[in-house]
Structure 1
Amino acid sequence: MYLFTAVREDQYYMAGKMIAVSVVHGGPGPHFRSEDLVHYLAGQASFKATVASVTDEDIGKVLQEIENATSVDVLRECVMKHSTLLQRAGCLRHVSTVEEKKDIVSDYLRWYIIDRNSSVLHRFKDGLSALHFLEAPQQQPTLLSPVLCHIEKKLTALDLERLFKPDFSSSGSNRRLLESQTVEFWADYLLDCEGLSILIFRTTCDKTL
């Protein structure tokens, strides 16, 4: 997402540099980028984005409408109806076959994900180049995906339990006994809640990041 304040303060470069420094020193990656964007950063030409990649609900509906066109006439009507949106992305064209809907959607997706953000992506990529972080992924592109790509992993009781580290009292004391029982109750509670909406309610999240 393009944010003028972030551009002015060069935050995209700093974000890339922070990620590079973290990963090079054995820290975690952000796991928030789309696979197509990661491939672009790694210098790969492949682009397989789908309408589901669009976070803007209104734009997603427009692309879905174009994608669902069943005839040339319907497609032309969709193109004219949304001509302003398509023209902004350089995707407005005269269509002669219904199959051209795939090219229109694909071209728009590339503009939406990459082209319209090219300036900030360039700075983000400059930041990722810190400590030669990008050199290896550009030679072996598959190395970058596990670090930057968004990966959905269902939130489990064990994930939540590992977020906390008990600060126990001295071993053998009465307080230590009570604290150990409390930790056991907490683990049992999390296990009982696993898979239930209460875990989502307590964390406001149904996936790990």
Structure 2
Amino acid sequence: MLTLPKFYLSFFSAVREDRYFVTGRAIAVSLVHGGPSPNFLSQTLFDCIVQGPEKSRPNLGDIADSEIREKIQKVSESTTLEELTQSTEPLQDYLANAGCLKPLKSVDDRDRLVEDVLMFQVINRVRGPFERFRDGLKTLGVLGPSRIIPNRSVQ
């Protein structure tokens, strides 16, 4: 019998119970009542919330899964087409699931591949929960262009 780690179970539970929306709403209500700003957000998550996911530029440090991060790092450090091909071999199934599997014709394909993988892993893979969190932050008009200030906090 397959047993999933608690992290994944809590993620599915949080999605099922709409906890991302509730958390966003709780933060919004707290802020409206003078509570502290959410300083626990990563810079990438904050940028996604404020500017939208399309304008976000995640980096390797945003990948929590160390195994995937190390494999992507090997891809990003490839300097020849042969190294690039070898470094993507262990990621073939992952790249296919991410929609990033394509023929590599030169080492110049490396940066675009890494960028696509980062967008998938950090943003697109969790897009549903992220949007629910963002919807919760819109409670009482907290999330809006005139409410966000540049120092990573919500006014």
Please give the TM-score of this superposition, normalised by the length of structure 1: 0.63
- 2:51 aligns with 43
Q: 1:147: which partner in 2? A: 153
Q: Distance in 2 between matches of 1:10 and 1:144?
A: 29
Query: How well do the aligned residues superpose, as a CA RMSD in angstroms?
Result: 2.0
Query: Which residue of 2 is the match for residue 114 of structure 1?
Result: 123
Q: Which residue of 1 aligns with 2:3?
A: none
Matches within 5 A, 1:106-185: 106-135=115-144, 138-139=145-146, 143=149, 146-147=152-153
Cα deviation digits, residues 111-133 of structure 1 (max 9, x gap): 11111111111111111010100
Tell me how far apart the structure 2 counterparts of residues 145 and 93 of structure 1 sit (CA, whole Å).
Answer: 39
Larger gyration radius, structure 1 or structure 2 = 1
Q: Which stretches in structure 2 are left out of the alignment for 5+ residues?
A: 1-6
Higher relative contact order (CA 8 A, sep 6+): 2
Count of aligned pairs between the two proteins: 145
Match for residue 26 of structure 1 among 23, 34, 44: 34
Over 4 Å off, 4+ runs: none
How far off its partner does 1:22 sit? 1.2
- Residue from 97, 104, 114 that aligns with 1:105: 114
Give the deviation of 1:81 after TM superposition: 2.8
Alignment correspondent of 2:97: 88
- Structure 1 pair 139–9 and aligned structure 2 pair: CA distance change class (3 A): same
